[in-house]
């Protein structure tokens, strides 16, 4: 099978194995940073159970509806902006299937969002939105893997900020701003790892545990996908860089 077999997923039950790794990622990063998560672990369990049973809307607790909707909306909004950070040949080959997958994710998210008031829709940065030295910062990053890593470093920060915020996890806005600024500085070569604030470095270390999200999703759907293997490898490399000696404890 390949990652494109996911395009057959349509129902909440089909996406339960997609949601679970994302929920665990949210919890892992929040716990690792010491943010208050309340009963998030319980909501993740309830959400997976509800999705597998096809329960949505009024049949699901409001906090669970919000968690599922926020997670899936964030995943849906992530794909196309991410591709803009990659080489044209890579972007063009994946734009159509990613757009279709995003539509499917939004369709399922809509079923959980319909009873929620004031749920925002996320927007993730394109290369033109992240500027360094008067031009898109990604222009200062060479090599496919490094550009891929830079894109993920910016977008998974925005993913976490959005989903955590919708789920009531208090993330200091100054931490988000400083992490974004120092992350750009690191990838364009203005800062070294040693220059990064220890809290910023730990935050990115935890955010790059999305290698576990990728690996778990691949395994749950039995994809054996070379695309996801590449994504996992790049994320693991960055996690080990940001984590230093801590990386061995996280594996």
Q: Which residues of the chain have pLDDT under 50?
A: 1-2, 247-251
For position 222, what pLDDT does the model report?
A: 87
pLDDT digits (tens, 9 = 90+) for 62-80: 999 999 999 999 999 999 9
For position 248, what pLDDT does the model report?
A: 38
- The CA-to-CA distance between both ends of the chain, in Å, stands at 27
- Return the ∠ at Cα 73 (arms to 186 and 83), rounded to 5°: 45
Secondary structure (3-state) at 136: strand
CA dist., res. 1 & res. 18, Å (int)? 16
For position 244, what pLDDT does the model report?
A: 79
For position 5, what pLDDT does the model report?
A: 63
HSE, CB side, 13 Å, CA atoms: give it for residue 185. Answer: 16
For position 245, what pLDDT does the model report?
A: 53
For position 1, what pLDDT does the model report?
A: 38
For position 61, what pLDDT does the model report?
A: 96
For position 4, what pLDDT does the model report?
A: 57
């Amino acid at each position: 099978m390949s990652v494109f077999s996911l395009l057959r997923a349509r129902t909440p039950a089909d996406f339960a194995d997609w949601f679970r790794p994302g929920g665990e990622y949210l919890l892992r990063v929040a716990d690792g940073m010491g943010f208050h998560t309340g009963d998030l672990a319980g909501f993740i369990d309830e959400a997976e159970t509800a999705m597998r049973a096809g329960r949505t809307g009024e049949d699901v607790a409001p906090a669970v509806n919000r968690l599922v909707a926020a997670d899936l909306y964030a995943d849906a909004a992530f794909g196309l902006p991410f591709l803009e950070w990659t080489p044209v040949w890579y972007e063009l080959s994946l734009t159509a299937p990613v757009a279709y997958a995003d539509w499917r994710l939004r369709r399922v998210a809509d079923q959980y969002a319909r009873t929620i008031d004031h749920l925002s829709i996320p927007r993730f940065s394109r290369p033109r939105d992240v500027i360094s030295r008067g031009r898109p910062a990604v222009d200062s990053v060479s090599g496919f893997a490094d550009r891929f890593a830079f894109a993920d470093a910016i977008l998974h920060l925005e993913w976490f900020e959005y989903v955590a915020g919708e789920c009531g996890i208090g993330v200091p806005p100054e931490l988000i701003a400083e992490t974004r600024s120092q992350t750009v500085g690191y990838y364009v070569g203005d800062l070294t790892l040693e220059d990064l604030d220890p809290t910023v470095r730990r935050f990115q270390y935890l955010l790059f545990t999305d290698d576990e999200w990728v690996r778990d999703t691949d395994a749950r759907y039995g994809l054996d996908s070379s695309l996801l293997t590449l994504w996992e490898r790049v994320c693991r490399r960055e996690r080990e860089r940001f984590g230093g000696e801590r990386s061995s404890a996280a594996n």
